Amino acid sequence: MSVETSKGWEPKIVAFACNWCSYAGGDLAGLNRLQYPSNVRIIRVPCSGRIDPQFVLRAFMMGADGVLVSG
Protein backbone atom coordinates (compact mmCIF):
# COMPACT_ATOMS: atom_id res chain seq x y z
CA MET A 1 0.00 0.00 0.00
CA SER A 2 2.97 2.30 0.47
CA VAL A 3 3.59 5.05 -2.04
CA GLU A 4 6.70 4.25 -4.02
CA THR A 5 8.29 5.88 -7.01
CA SER A 6 10.51 4.16 -9.53
CA LYS A 7 13.54 5.26 -7.50
CA GLY A 8 12.13 3.66 -4.37
CA TRP A 9 11.54 6.98 -2.67
CA GLU A 10 8.86 7.06 -0.03
CA PRO A 11 7.41 10.18 1.56
CA LYS A 12 7.93 10.53 5.28
CA ILE A 13 4.57 11.26 6.88
CA VAL A 14 4.01 12.32 10.47
CA ALA A 15 0.51 11.52 11.66
CA PHE A 16 -1.00 13.16 14.74
CA ALA A 17 -3.71 10.77 15.85
CA CYS A 18 -6.34 11.46 18.49
CA ASN A 19 -6.19 8.96 21.32
CA TRP A 20 -9.93 8.35 21.24
CA CYS A 21 -10.62 7.78 17.56
CA SER A 22 -7.81 7.57 15.01
CA TYR A 23 -5.23 6.21 17.41
CA ALA A 24 -7.77 3.71 18.70
CA GLY A 25 -8.45 2.84 15.05
CA GLY A 26 -4.73 2.30 14.48
CA ASP A 27 -4.66 0.09 17.55
CA LEU A 28 -7.58 -1.92 16.26
CA ALA A 29 -5.87 -2.30 12.88
CA GLY A 30 -2.88 -3.69 14.77
CA LEU A 31 -5.05 -6.09 16.76
CA ASN A 32 -6.53 -7.33 13.49
CA ARG A 33 -3.04 -7.77 12.08
CA LEU A 34 -3.65 -5.25 9.31
CA GLN A 35 -0.53 -3.64 7.87
CA TYR A 36 -0.17 0.05 7.46
CA PRO A 37 2.74 1.66 5.61
CA SER A 38 5.82 2.08 7.75
CA ASN A 39 6.49 5.53 6.33
CA VAL A 40 3.57 6.84 8.37
CA ARG A 41 4.86 7.65 11.84
CA ILE A 42 2.18 8.13 14.42
CA ILE A 43 2.21 10.52 17.35
CA ARG A 44 -0.57 9.98 19.87
CA VAL A 45 -2.23 13.14 21.11
CA PRO A 46 -5.03 13.33 23.69
CA CYS A 47 -7.24 15.27 21.25
CA SER A 48 -6.79 16.88 17.86
CA GLY A 49 -7.32 20.14 19.76
CA ARG A 50 -3.95 19.58 21.42
CA ILE A 51 -2.13 20.01 18.12
CA ASP A 52 -0.27 23.27 18.02
CA PRO A 53 0.42 24.54 14.48
CA GLN A 54 4.03 24.70 15.60
CA PHE A 55 4.16 20.89 15.79
CA VAL A 56 3.16 20.73 12.13
CA LEU A 57 5.71 23.33 11.12
CA ARG A 58 8.32 21.55 13.21
CA ALA A 59 7.63 18.29 11.39
CA PHE A 60 8.10 19.94 8.00
CA MET A 61 11.20 21.70 9.28
CA MET A 62 12.66 18.38 10.37
CA GLY A 63 12.12 16.88 6.92
CA ALA A 64 8.64 15.40 6.92
CA ASP A 65 7.02 15.31 3.47
CA GLY A 66 3.51 15.25 4.77
CA VAL A 67 1.61 15.76 8.01
CA LEU A 68 -1.67 14.04 8.77
CA VAL A 69 -3.89 15.43 11.50
CA SER A 70 -6.64 13.03 12.36
CA GLY A 71 -9.23 13.29 15.08
Q: Which of 3, 21, 29, 43 binds other proteins (CB under 8 A)?
A: 43
State yes or no: residue 9 binds other proteins (CB under 8 A).
Answer: no
Q: Is 24 helix (H, G, I), strand (E, B) or coil?
A: helix
Is 26 or 45 the residue whose CB approaches other proteins more closely?
45
CB of 40 to other proteins, least distance (A): 10
Q: Does 45 bind other proteins (CB under 8 A)?
A: yes
Written in H, E and C, the secondary structure of 27-59 is HHHHHCCCCCCCCEEEEEECCHHHCCHHHHHHH
Cβ proximity to other proteins: between 8 and 49 the closer is: 49
What DSSP character marks residue 26?
Answer: H
